[in-house]
Structure 1
Amino acid sequence: MMTDATHPHPHLRVETDGPVRVVTLDRPDKRNAQTPSLWRALAEQARSVPEEVRVVVIRGAGEAFSAGIDTAMFTPAGIEGEENMAELVATHGPEAMDRAIAAYQEGFTAWGECPALVVAQVHGYAIGAGFQLALAADLRVASLDAWFAMRETSLGLVPDLGGTGPLVHLVGYSRALEICATGRRVSAPEAHAMGLVNAIAPAADLDEATFSLVQHVLSAPEPAVRALKALLRSAVTADRDTQLAAERSAQSGLLRALMGGAAG
């Protein structure tokens, strides 16, 4: 059972049990629709994961992982306490818009910089910002009835919350373009077959499948897993020589630790 529950945001629940932290999008009445204040809270959570936490699981309460952005943000009335997109566009120039979107992106990109391994547990559906939050994780586990969709293009927009890079790296340019341009549903079995999802399980067994993966991660020595995440993340964009140097540096540090600092 998870302990030490906190609510850093009205729509976010955080529970920690030893080396495992579970971050739950907790707005089930709105299908975990996301807002800028939630993104700020997610960024803060990613940056403040304590050293003793080795794995973070991100999941959604209720019937779905996340239906994406709360579209009320785009209405004249907006959402109380949140930035109004219509007002932002009407009264701010391109530089202010760029700064605003950059701040939103941190709720997603900060998880890649988090030393702990991050697992997205997806059930129901992950649409738009929900899909991009799943992509922000290091690993993804989905229920068999889950599905993913990038619906931004159908609204005349593009995915802008850090999801385009991971999607292209996972499934390739052509398939990523097709998924985003059509906005179609990608079922969990298809997502698994194309390498978008690491594991799938019946909905009733999703928790078991997720925490089985978590336990396998925890069974490996902590320093090696932490070094591995940073090393493989860098491999996505680093040139050959830079990556080889990163491998040498990581391995040297691990060898020194294993040998009790005897290596000079």
Structure 2
Amino acid sequence: MPADRSAPTAASQPPGGHGAEPGEWEQAGVRLGLEGELATVTLCHPQRRNAQTPAMWRALAAVGRSLPGTVRVVVLRAEGVSFSAGLDRAMFTPDGIPGEPGFTALARADDAALDAAIAAYQDAFTWWRRPDLVTVAAVQGHAVGAGFQLALACDLRVVAEDAQFAMKETSLGLVPDLAGTKPLTALVGYARALEICATGRWVHADEAVRTGLANLAVPAAELDAAARDLAAALLAAPRAAVNETKALLQGAAARTYDDQRAAERAAQARRLRDLSGLGD
């Protein structure tokens, strides 16, 4: 959950709010743009290096719930020099963020309440891998802690050559808890994932591409164009075929070889019948 202690502060909203309206989303640092089948989610607190707060997480979760069914591809980008400097440093202070439970209050909660609070935070990070969407993170500058995990939430990552990832939670005595550990391990393997998390070191763009953490690195000035080009390529294929392929690949690690072959046959049967006009 937490990240760099030097991360600047970000806006908040009263507890109990759900970030349900676009105006509230932008106050919390999130903006949504829609262009037909493409949605663009922008972190828009560049003056605070897009530091994350519970209000931002509520807004991100609300964006996911609000997407029209016509959207097929989502690009996640950020304004300013950093993708996200991680958790708002005010969360580490005794006073915390006004209107939000700080770490001390969370620690004092009973097990059920604490689990529910963290689960609610995770909602901002889980919808990006929905089977009906393909999501692309465009990452520049620093992606620290919660910022790293938000980039990991997406299916694909395009990074600027100045991108730097770090998972600082363990260095602060905590653990990454925003749904980032599974995709990180799947992308780079257990040993490298453990080393990245346990040391909190920086992973630069060239290593990210070399290890499979990122799909592509480009000059910073070309980042938005590269993400849009990838989105256009993803939109060129029929939606049902992309969704079926994504489901096959997402489930592959948990299946045996024979089970995966069976899943391929079932998926292809659905596609053939659909293309022949014989589907449900």
Pick which of 68-77 and 186-195 moved more.
68-77
Match of 2:218 among 188, 196, 201: 201
- Contact 2:40-2:74 within 8 A present in 1 as well: yes
Q: 1:44 to 1:232 in 2, by over 3 A?
A: farther
Q: What is the aligned partner in structure 2 of residue 186 from structure 1? A: 203
8 Å contact from structure 2 (residues 131, 246) kept in 1: no
Quick one: distance in 2 between partners of 1:243 and 1:35? 40
* Matched-pair identity in %: 54
Structure 1 CA distance for aligned equivalents of residues 244 and 203 of structure 2: 32
TM-score with structure 2 length normalisation?
0.86
CA distance in 1, matches of 2:254, 2:99: 38
1:128 pairs with 2:119: no
Superposition deviation, residue 128 in structure 1: 0.3
Q: Deviations over 1:21-53 (max 9, x none)?
A: 100111112111111222222222223322211
Contact kept, 8 Å, 2:131 with 2:243, in 1: the verdict is: no
Using the TM superposition, give the Cα deviation of residue 161 of structure 1 relative to its aligned residue in structure 2, in angstroms.
0.6
Give, as a single letter, the amino acid of the residue that structure 2 aligns with 1:104: Y
Structure 2: which 5+ runs fail to align?
1-21
> Paired residue for 1:83, among 78, 98, 101?
101
Does the C-alpha gap of structure 1 residues 158 and 146 become closer, same or farther in structure 2, counting only changes over 3 Å? same
Aligned residues: 258
> In the aligned structure 1, how far is the partner of 2:81 from the partner of 2:241?
36
1:117-143 CA-to-partner distances (Å, cap 9, x unmatched) read 100000011000100010010000000
SS where residue 254 of structure 2 aligns?
coil
Higher RCO, 1 or 2 (CA under 8 Å, sep at least 6)? 2
Alignment of 1:18-57 (within 5 A): 18-57=36-75
Query: Of residues 98, 118, 139 in structure 1, which corresponds to 2:115?
Result: 98
* Partner-residue secondary structure (3-state), 1:59: strand
1:60 aligns with 2:74: no
Aligned to 1:232: 249
Structure 2 distance, partners of 1:174, 1:40, is: 33
**Is residue 141 of structure 1 aligned with residue 158 of structure 2?**
yes
Q: Which moved more, 1:197-206 or 1:76-85?
A: 76-85
Root mean square deviation of aligned Cα: 1.9
1:109 aligned to 101, 108, 126, which one?
126
Is 1:13 the counterpart of 2:31? The answer is yes
Tell whether the 8 Å contact from 2:86 to 2:147 is kept in structure 1 after alignment.
yes
AA aligned opposite 2:178:
L
